[in-house]
Chain A
Amino acid sequence: MTFLAPIFLYIGMAVAAGAVALHFIVTRQPTSSPLPTVRFIPVSSVRVTTVAPVPEDLWVLLIRVLAALLIGAAFARPVLVPERRPVARVVLADVSRGVAQIEEVRDSSRRLLADGDALIAFDSAPREITNFADSLATLRKSGAEAKLSPALIAALRTASELRAAVDSIELVIVSPLRASALDGATHAVRALWPGRVRLVHVAASADTLAPQVGITVRAADNDGVAIAAKVAGIAASDAAVRLLRDTPTAADSSWAAAGRRALVRWPVAGAPPGWRARATVDTAGAVIAGDAALVYPLERRWEPDSAASPLRVVARWVDGEPAAVERAVGAGCVRDVAIPVPTRGDLVLRPSLGLLLRALGAPCESTTGSSAMAPADMLSLSGTGPLAASDAIEPPDTVTTPLVPWLLGAALFLALLEPLVRRGSPPLWDEDLSEEPVDQRGAA
């Protein structure tokens, strides 16, 4: 057993010691001595504080000591520590659409897992699989894309719960390990894991192929976005991504729905379809899309219509408000961008606008494929050195302490019992002297 807040246990022990000491100090009526002329002494009551050689009222003392210790132990939050094992495993099993065969993931996970280990299935969000001996067979491949950052966070949380029972914890990632699984936070989260990570490769699904990045821009020749696309080197003809600066037509929508194509509607002026004017026009200092960030004061005039169908946000203003949204249409998607590009200034020449265009011109999310993770990323993900020591893992924020209610209940029971026991004990002193017979002659 260990205590999460042992200071309270020490306080309880100090209180119990104080109770023992106080039971040696008793206030009682002193022993009376004979004096024939006592009638001449004025009437009053007396108590004397003295030190008893033996503690008074041992049963009451025992109850008080136990109650103090129980309350101290309850506040100290005892936790039963199970028998420690050398190593436990936390297995992150990728069940995203990027996995070719889910059976491979199941088999790989089954070989790694033992009693006391933890299994976390993840795609875009992690979920811990309890009773994996039975649940492993029910793992299903999902249609979402794999994201490692939330899975690693879940692994850290699970490791916090396992750390008390093991000496070391091994993190195993069973995944196709595509580049799309990484995001800007993955390396930072990985750095929180204080040990090496084992990477178990499984086959990737066939459609996770890296598409070509290119945008066909339909705009005036002097349009700033068209110029920026040319400067960034992503302007292409007949690309899978069509960017319209003018009014889109039905044919444009049909074109996007017919295949894995993205139609980007980015009007020069006016609100994009499905957007409405903001109540207050303001200025945002930056807009972010994926890894691209454009830092430039831009007017913010429109906002998405909340009545519209659920949208995926592909770009956000610096305060988090959507700046561009995507809607699936047929096999493709339509992307509406509400980022005004000023006609003056050097914005169109900045590389950051080109990066923003790349991000806004990315293939639709549903058809997004991914290349394999770069070797450097894999090396960074796996790391070197020993397994993560349990002491190096942060303890959980909340620890269940099932003993606390029992301890408090026992202390409450003793507190209720104490007055009953005290009442049944012999009095420490005799009757009070305050009511005395009237004095006789001479003592007036």
Chain B
Amino acid sequence: MAIATFAPVLDAVRGIAWPALRRVRSSIPGPHVSVVRGSTDEFVEYRPYRQGDDPKKIDWKLVGRTDRVYIRVSQERAILPTMILLDATASMAFPTATHAKWDLARRIGIALAAVARHRGDPVGMTIVHPERARTFEPRTRRTVLEEMMRAVEIAAGGSLPLAPATVDAMRRSARVVLISDFLGDADALLSAGRTFAAAGNELHAVHIVDEGELEPDPRKLLLADPEQPETRRPMSPPARAIYLRRFGAWREQLARDWRGAGASYVLAVTGQEPLRRTIRRITNPETGARRSSG
């Protein structure tokens, strides 16, 4: 039944492309511009012939016109293995009635996996959960999406740091998507991400926030951390004002930090926009931002 659950997700992302943000280093042919110049049909430029070049690349028509020997240089395209890391800890199981954060996170994860696989990129997934953790190696196999859909049909819960799984995912691929609320080991994640992005890899941080976290229900006077139940605070009107200020400042700082680390940062709020728009903002940060604001 996982396919039935996520069928709307797959429909929503139909036709969306997810180009790499920078030239990829892979040598396996794929959809993304590679750092390697090759002999494909995608002409890029002429280069004077040097000893050792393949004579088959000589453009004889140009020789006839210019009396100079030039070879055709074309753009190589390669795959970009993608790993999607899903935070399935207790903080994602909010609100308790709907688990809207976890639902949005896994829909984004499946949607991105579908977009990547559709373009021919190997896609893998790591689900961070104390008891139901799963890791899928980046693959292009047709059944990989179905396996992922089944794997994400769990309930979020428990407490577990994301950094180790993130580091492992970064070793497996050149594009990593972190889908989390970043309420856990954010500093360790940022440090790993900074290193990953500095190595020329592509990093996306998708920050999941619930509407109830942006505007907590004023009728609820005492609030507790689901991952640390002993942490409880009262939400009086003055405390609410302080909370909104602090939480907003933290989100802004988080966005600056991730962008400063070389990652793209997208804030996804439950129930605020259609999934397709969110995916567009992730897969095409500049155009997605224009379309969101437009």
Chain A interface (Cβ < 8 Å from any Cβ of B): 29-46, 48, 433, 436-437, 441-444
- Which residues of chain B come closer than 8 Å to A29, judged between CB atoms? 222
**B234 adjacent to A41 (CB under 8 Å):** yes
In the assembled complex, the CB of B234 is this many whole angstroms from the nearest CB of chain A, namely 3
- Which residues of chain A come closer than 8 Å to B221, judged between CB atoms? 30, 46, 48
Given contacts A30-B221, A39-B231, contact A443 B246 (CB under 8 A): yes
How many pairs of residues, A versus B, come closer than 8 Å at their CB atoms? Answer: 101
- Which residues of chain A come closer than 8 Å to B90, judged between CB atoms? 36
**A46 adjacent to B236 (CB under 8 Å):** yes
In the assembled complex, the CB of B250 is this many whole angstroms from the nearest CB of chain A, namely 4
A48 closest partner in B (C-beta):
B221
**A441 adjacent to B187 (CB under 8 Å):** yes
In the assembled complex, the CB of A31 is this many whole angstroms from the nearest CB of chain B, namely 7
**A44 adjacent to B239 (CB under 8 Å):** yes
With A and B bound together, what is the CA distance between A32 and B233 in angstroms? 9
**B253 adjacent to A35 (CB under 8 Å):** no
Chain B interface (Cβ < 8 Å from any Cβ of A): 90-92, 94-96, 101, 181, 183, 186-187, 210, 212-213, 216-217, 220-227, 230-236, 239, 242-243, 246-247, 249-250, 253-254
**B246 adjacent to A32 (CB under 8 Å):** no
**A31 adjacent to B247 (CB under 8 Å):** no
New A-B pairs, 6, CB < 8 Å, besides A41-B243, A442-B246, A444-B246: A34-B226, A35-B94, A35-B213, A35-B225, A39-B225, A44-B233
- Which residues of chain B come closer than 8 Å to A37, judged between CB atoms? 183, 213, 243, 247
In the assembled complex, the CB of A442 is this many whole angstroms from the nearest CB of chain B, namely 4
Among the listed B91, B235, B250, which residue makes an inter-chain contact with A36, where contact means beta carbons less than 8 Å apart? B91
With A and B bound together, what is the CA distance between A32 and B223 in angstroms? 5
With A and B bound together, what is the CA distance between A45 and B235 in angstroms? 10
In the assembled complex, the CB of B130 is this many whole angstroms from the nearest CB of chain A, namely 16
Among the listed B91, B227, B250, which residue makes an inter-chain contact with A40, where contact means beta carbons less than 8 Å apart? B250
With A and B bound together, what is the CA distance between A255 and B234 in angstroms? 111
Could you list 25 examples of A-B contacts with CB < 8 Å?
A32-B222, A32-B223, A33-B217, A33-B222, A33-B223, A34-B224, A34-B225, A34-B226, A35-B216, A35-B220, A36-B210, A37-B183, A37-B247, A39-B183, A41-B234, A41-B239, A41-B242, A41-B243, A44-B239, A46-B236, A48-B221, A433-B234, A436-B233, A442-B247, A442-B253
**A38 adjacent to B224 (CB under 8 Å):** yes
**B231 adjacent to A437 (CB under 8 Å):** yes
Given contacts A45-B234, A437-B231, A441-B187, contact A35 B224 (CB under 8 A): yes
- Which residues of chain B come closer than 8 Å to A35, judged between CB atoms? 94, 212-213, 216, 220, 223-226
- Which residues of chain B come closer than 8 Å to A48, judged between CB atoms? 221
**B232 adjacent to A32 (CB under 8 Å):** yes
By secondary structure, the B interface counts as: mixed
**B239 adjacent to A38 (CB under 8 Å):** no
With A and B bound together, what is the CA distance between A43 and B243 in angstroms? 11
Given contacts A36-B227, A437-B231, A442-B250, contact A42 B213 (CB under 8 A): no
**B232 adjacent to A433 (CB under 8 Å):** yes
With A and B bound together, what is the CA distance between A441 and B188 in angstroms? 12
In the assembled complex, the CB of B214 is this many whole angstroms from the nearest CB of chain A, namely 9
With A and B bound together, what is the CA distance between A44 and B232 in angstroms? 9
**A36 adjacent to B225 (CB under 8 Å):** yes
List 8 tightest A-B contacts by C-beta distance, closest first. Answer: A46-B234, A442-B250, A36-B91, A41-B233, A35-B223, A32-B224, A40-B246, A33-B220
- Which residues of chain B come closer than 8 Å to A43, judged between CB atoms? 233
B241 closest partner in A (C-beta):
A42
With A and B bound together, what is the CA distance between A32 and B216 in angstroms? 13
**B233 adjacent to A34 (CB under 8 Å):** no
**B233 adjacent to A433 (CB under 8 Å):** yes
In the assembled complex, the CB of A269 is this many whole angstroms from the nearest CB of chain B, namely 102
In the assembled complex, the CB of B104 is this many whole angstroms from the nearest CB of chain A, namely 14
**B236 adjacent to A36 (CB under 8 Å):** no
Candidate in A41, A44, A436, A441 with the most chain B CB atoms within 10 angstroms: A41
- Which residues of chain A come closer than 8 Å to B243, judged between CB atoms? 37, 40-42
**A34 adjacent to B239 (CB under 8 Å):** no
In the assembled complex, the CB of A367 is this many whole angstroms from the nearest CB of chain B, namely 100
- Which residues of chain B come closer than 8 Å to A443, judged between CB atoms? 246, 250
**A38 adjacent to B234 (CB under 8 Å):** no
Given contacts A34-B96, A40-B246, A44-B239, contact A436 B231 (CB under 8 A): yes
- Which residues of chain A come closer than 8 Å to B223, judged between CB atoms? 32-35, 38, 41
With A and B bound together, what is the CA distance between A113 and B86 in angstroms? 106
With A and B bound together, what is the CA distance between A443 and B225 in angstroms? 13
With A and B bound together, what is the CA distance between A433 and B221 in angstroms? 13
**B250 adjacent to A30 (CB under 8 Å):** no
- Which residues of chain A come closer than 8 Å to B96, judged between CB atoms? 34
**A46 adjacent to B222 (CB under 8 Å):** yes
With A and B bound together, what is the CA distance between A389 and B259 in angstroms? 105
With A and B bound together, what is the CA distance between A186 and B253 in angstroms? 107
B246 closest partner in A (C-beta):
A40
- Which residues of chain B come closer than 8 Å to A31, judged between CB atoms? 222
- Which residues of chain A come closer than 8 Å to B249, judged between CB atoms? 442
With A and B bound together, what is the CA distance between A373 and B212 in angstroms? 106
Among the listed B94, B230, B247, B250, which residue makes an inter-chain contact with A34, where contact means beta carbons less than 8 Å apart? B94
In the assembled complex, the CB of B238 is this many whole angstroms from the nearest CB of chain A, namely 8
In the assembled complex, the CB of B2 is this many whole angstroms from the nearest CB of chain A, namely 26
- Which residues of chain A come closer than 8 Å to B242, judged between CB atoms? 40-42
With A and B bound together, what is the CA distance between A436 and B222 in angstroms? 14
Among the listed A34, A38, A441, which residue makes an inter-chain contact with B186, where contact means beta carbons less than 8 Å apart? A441
Given contacts A32-B222, A35-B213, A48-B221, contact A42 B239 (CB under 8 A): yes
- Which residues of chain B come closer than 8 Å to A436, judged between CB atoms? 231, 233
A442 closest partner in B (C-beta):
B250
In the assembled complex, the CB of A425 is this many whole angstroms from the nearest CB of chain B, namely 22
- Which residues of chain A come closer than 8 Å to B216, judged between CB atoms? 35
- Which residues of chain A come closer than 8 Å to B212, judged between CB atoms? 35
- Which residues of chain A come closer than 8 Å to B224, judged between CB atoms? 32-35, 38
In the assembled complex, the CB of A136 is this many whole angstroms from the nearest CB of chain B, namely 83
- Which residues of chain A come closer than 8 Å to B210, judged between CB atoms? 36
A37 closest partner in B (C-beta):
B213
With A and B bound together, what is the CA distance between A39 and B186 in angstroms? 14
In the assembled complex, the CB of B83 is this many whole angstroms from the nearest CB of chain A, namely 24
In the assembled complex, the CB of B160 is this many whole angstroms from the nearest CB of chain A, namely 14
With A and B bound together, what is the CA distance between A45 and B221 in angstroms? 11
With A and B bound together, what is the CA distance between A437 and B232 in angstroms? 10
- Which residues of chain A come closer than 8 Å to B246, judged between CB atoms? 40, 442-444
